Structure 1
């Protein structure tokens, strides 16, 4: 009986994780104004790249980034990771 319960729990967890990944969508809209993103306008924030529709949006984002990050997460947007060559390197002492 315990094995059956564990098996059901594992199957349920796997199904939930699969569905949550299926809901994630790439960013297509600006989190500030809602316009179509321009991939030349972006801010790298905590290892993720956030795109914007116009030149004023990055500054607005920087004033309260967590507000816009929450909005993107709530909408199921999966942001691109910052490319390794663009990520700042850690200073070794």
Structure 2
């Protein structure tokens, strides 16, 4: 009986560690130090249903979008979206 309880506790512990690790990972293609976890245009999380994130650079600032479809809106007012990234960045 003790053996089953110990195995259950160990399995639960390993499962919770794997969930925490998965939640902390940055989607592929986005640097770990990028200050946002969601697209500045659509507010959708990166790496979701929208596909691979898209990188654009405006006046020296890299901005990551959740998908190619967000490029159209980004291009209408790039300064607005770039400012969101700058505002979210840690102050030096």
Q: TM-score range by the shorter chain?
A: 0.3 to 0.5
Greater relative contact order (Cα < 8 A, sep 6+) = 1
Q: Which has the higher strand share?
A: 1
The normalised TM-score by structure 2 is: 0.46
